[in-house]
Structure 1
Amino acid sequence: MLKVMFRAAVVVVILQVTLGKTPAEWRTRIVYQILTDRFAHTEQSPDTECPELYEYCGGTLKGIQNNLDYIAGLGANAIWISPFVENTELGFHGYWPKNINEVNSNFGTEQDLKDLIAACHERDIWVMADLVLNHMGYQHGCHWSGCPLEKTDNFTGFVPFDKTEHYHPFCDIDWSKEEPENVQGCWLAYLPDLNQTNTEVRQTLLDWTTDLTTRYGFDGYRLDFVKGVSMDFWQEVDEACKEYTIGEAYDGNLDVVASYQGNLDSVLSFPMYFVLEDLFQNNPSTGSMEKIHEQLESEATAYQDTTILGGFLDNHDRARFLSKNSDVTALKNALVYLLMARWIPFVYYGTELGFKGGNDPQNRESLWPHVDTEHELYKFIAKVNEFRSSLGQSFIDSEQTESLYDSDFYSFTRHETYIAITNRGSGASGIQRTVSDSGFSDGTVLSNVLDPSDRVTVDDGKFTVTLRKGEPKIYYTGDVSKSTKSSPCLLSIFLIGLATFSAVKH
């Protein structure tokens, strides 16, 4: 019997490695975004902040591996690591490739990367790689502020793309007119633009992405600057990756961003990000919460599948939330929406510690020496994530049903939970709403996950919600004092371990 079970398990593992992690499976993930250079040193991290944020600060792949307890404690079960390939000078962030076949020695070795992924898989933490397929790094003497024309055709040192025909001729993207031939054929910030219509370039990139899954066992891929390359190329990349793909179409135009879903599995939800940024960061005193409803209505017809979008409040290209609105209560409200809405939530490193850096590079701080699992925001995110995870697949599969929304208030239900938020912040007093046609049975007691002493009872299909100091509410029909994170079954752990071993060995 044991032999039969083992053979069956091996068959499942082979199918898992072949088919990869599906978009539906990624709906079970909470993703923690990491800039490898800024997360943790291999040994003890310094007790002072990194002073030069345009330079390498010393974070490593081994540093991430040594601090997986911190990530798991936050409730994240996936990480998105910054691009790991060798970069040109000062490419600490990974977006200036020099040699796509080598791991950046500042971060560690190829074995370090394999060890990190294996260690993550042992904990059922998935790993998303960040791929740059639009361009290479800066040529000698060039910079994001300019590049002498005579240097724009020198590609010596780039691997494997060292020939002029591998690139589009130099022209600067004109952002005032975003026609495809302009954005796809010109150079982003003076970075040499790869010509994916060249057969050698195209096939090399496709072969490389396929090999990454086989060699390392990545579970998904974030694809940088997808607006810079044609749709037909992304279709082929999606097939080559064999894992969940999510593109960065950095744009507030819903039609533009939504057009990439179908060519890739999904996209980062920039249009909703800009709505949340406006409501919670830029105009918290005047922005109407009805805009969330309006955006969701538009998205329902624009996207093929909204449940696999990547939701976020911060990232490495945008000023941090608290740099614009220092009210932690406002951030908590936004976090509740991020973590409880029906999409895949992405949490940018440092948000859990109240980082408030502005535009690049101030939003790329070193996590050290600030690591503190007792921080108010770390504990808040961990609590919400723990509760979310305790609800299991029923929550993942549940609809996001809007309940009541107006200028100051937004609420929705998902699997026996009622979520209420506001953007008015800690200064808001007595935001009170009576919820009719709640969908909960009379006599149902709803307890607040964030404050178990806060309870309301459904009477005649109604109950009243009061946000006393602008705090968010997560009401649940069950016992919130006993909600704990669901543990994966032993068979799942066994299969994940075998899949990781198989991927690493090959």
Structure 2
Amino acid sequence: MNRIILILIAILLGVSSPAYANVTKENRQWQDETIYSIMIDRFNNGNTQNDFDVDTKNLEKYNGGDFQGIIDKLDYIKDMEFTAIRLTPIFDNRENGYHGYWVKDYYKVDEHFGTMKDFEKLVNEAHKRKLRVIIDFPANSEVKGKNLIDAATWWIKKTNIDGYSLPEVNKVPISFWREFSAAVKQEKKDFLLMGVSSGNTADDLEVYHEAGIDSLFDYNESEQMRQVFATTDRSFQSIPPAADKQNLDAHFFDNEFTKRFTKDIVDERQFPGARWKTALTYIYTTPGIPVMYYGTEIALTGGDIPDNRRLMNFRTEKDLIDYITKLGELRNQLPSLTRGTMEMLYEKSGMAVYKRVYKGETSIIAINNTNKSQKVTLTGDQVEGGKELRGLLGGDLVRSRDNQYILIVDRDNSEIYVLAEKTGFNLKFIAAAVIPGILAIWFLLLVFRRGKTNIVE
């Protein structure tokens, strides 16, 4: 009997495993990451001993966030399935430089954030959780030339960070970035450089790629996405084609220099939770690295600087956090979402269906950014017929009929499908329904037998 029970349990575990997961990610790459972006002073106060000049009622002053506060919340970040963190500058700043961009000394940490040991601990604790660490490195300050490059390489050797984001990358000569890139990448293999331009710029971003900047924040794309996703029934066609985007470029809706995307949503008299879910589904499933600004998970709002840099509130919006977590799980599980080709299959007035393919794994993403349910028919020319599409976000299942797939998606909903062989009976459902009953009967029989043995004795 015990042997039968073990077999039943093995069957249950077997049918519960994802049959589509036949492709694995070899050697973790930067395009596989999902980044949680933090303004240190506004995130979490973990050590009140370094609360110098703190005034939580004034957004132009230090508010108390520090390295220890981030350490205390690393599990919180990891649990949402993020794989990297990006921090605003950690360096010693001039008076009221809570944001980190008024650097005074590149070889010291700001005393309001903690000590060098605190920062080294932060990096170590992040790495223990397989979280990469990127920090902002302002290169347009008063300190210029080989001094900046020396400082940049010194921090890599000292703390083992994994990348730099480079604010106002377009305000520094290209020749400097070539030299800077060569030096830091010689210091550590697979070191990432992310260029952040100063707002929407007509500059040709490609020249920065050629200079060694791996990833760029494209404000033009961000602005178009904000317009599309802040409300419903707007075509995706205004967004620069995702298929043309480099896999390492940043996908973002807002950051420390912009108004919060939540404000756009509220201005459109929309519900932030629903709008954010749809928007995040798009950046989690199209080419590029999603970069999510702290507070997005609670739909934190805010206007121009410094209103967009409000204190984080950890009385969280569970529904949105759960959705972000699920998106992160699927992004981490499916190589096609981070490495696959990109092809738009259908797009009309806010309803979009696109395909991503990587080494035999095919994902179909359906996003309904309209105010009513939508029906889309995919042909055998678009998706291989004779199979089924298994919805991993909402649990939908679409089987091929006459080499066609008919997708029906409710308003303000999205689904991430994986193409798989057709299943006959729903073994997972049957196992989940029947096996617990068998186990219960076995338990009662076991109790009965033991009872009889005690009576005989």
Q: What TM-score do you get using the length of structure 2 for normalisation? A: 0.77
Shift of the 317–251 alpha-carbon distance from structure 1 to 2, 3 Å rule, reads closer
1:342-421 equivalences in 2 (<5 Å): 342-368=287-313, 370-372=314-316, 375-391=318-334, 393=335, 395-414=337-356, 415-421=361-367
Cα pair 1:431 1:470 within 8 Å, conserved:
no
Match of 1:467 in 2: 409
Tell me, in whole angstroms, the C-alpha distance in 2 between the residues paired with 1:118 and 1:353. Answer: 27
Deviations 1:108-152 (A, max 9, x none): 00011111001111111000010011024xxxxxxxxxxxxxxxx
Shift of 1:306: 0.6
Are 1:231 and 2:231 matched, yes or no? no
Question: Aligned letter for 1:311?
Answer: H
Match of 2:454 in 1: none
Tell me, in whole angstroms, the C-alpha distance in 2 between the residues paired with 1:285 and 1:62. Answer: 41
Shift of 1:422: 3.7
Match of 2:439 in 1: none
Shift of 1:348: 0.8
Deviations 1:393-432 (A, max 9, x none): 45433212221112222221224221122433xxx11222
Instruction: Provide structure 2 residue ranges, at least 5 long, that are not aligned to the other structure.
Output: 1-26, 186-190, 429-457
Match of 2:30 in 1: 26
Tell me, in whole angstroms, the C-alpha distance in 2 between the residues paired with 1:289 and 1:265. Answer: 26
Match of 1:194 in 2: none
SS state at 1:94 partner: coil
Tell me, in whole angstroms, the C-alpha distance in 2 between the residues paired with 1:33 and 1:117. Answer: 15
| Structure 2 residue corresponding to 1:332, chosen from 277, 284, 290 | 277
Match of 2:263 in 1: 323
Match of 1:139 in 2: none
Cα pair 1:446 1:456 within 8 Å, conserved:
yes
Shift of the 251–42 alpha-carbon distance from structure 1 to 2, 3 Å rule, reads closer
Tell me, in whole angstroms, the C-alpha distance in 1 between the residues paired with 2:173 and 2:326. Answer: 42
Tell me, in whole angstroms, the C-alpha distance in 2 between the residues paired with 1:461 and 1:331. Answer: 34
Shift of 1:213: 0.8
Question: Aligned letter for 1:26?
Answer: W
Instruction: Provide structure 1 residue ranges, at least 5 long, that are not aligned to the other structure.
Output: 1-22, 137-160, 162-200, 483-506
SS state at 2:238 partner: helix
Question: Aligned letter for 1:449?
Answer: L
Shift of 1:346: 0.6
| Structure 2 residue corresponding to 1:82, chosen from 75, 78, 88 | 88
1:132-211 equivalences in 2 (<5 Å): 132-136=138-142, 161=143, 201-211=144-154
Match of 1:52 in 2: 58
Tell me, in whole angstroms, the C-alpha distance in 1 between the residues paired with 2:414 and 2:106. Answer: 45
Cα pair 1:34 1:348 within 8 Å, conserved:
yes
Cα pair 1:289 1:422 within 8 Å, conserved:
no
Work out which of the two has the higher radius of gyration on C-alpha atoms and give 1 or 2.
Answer: 2
Paired residues, number: 379
Are 1:256 and 2:196 matched, yes or no? no
Question: Aligned letter for 1:456?
Answer: V
Tell me, in whole angstroms, the C-alpha distance in 2 between the residues paired with 1:125 and 1:474. Answer: 25
Cα pair 1:313 1:338 within 8 Å, conserved:
no
SS state at 2:111 partner: coil
SS state at 1:474 partner: strand
Match of 2:222 in 1: 273
Greater relative contact order, per chain length (Cα 8 Å cut-off, separation 6+): 1
Cα pair 1:438 1:462 within 8 Å, conserved:
no
Shift of the 251–408 alpha-carbon distance from structure 1 to 2, 3 Å rule, reads same
SS state at 1:325 partner: helix
| Structure 2 residue corresponding to 1:42, chosen from 46, 58, 62 | 46
SS state at 2:36 partner: strand
SS state at 2:274 partner: helix
Q: What TM-score do you get using the length of structure 1 for normalisation? A: 0.70
Identity percentage of aligned residues: 28
Deviations 1:156-180 (A, max 9, x none): xxxxx5xxxxxxxxxxxxxxxxxxx
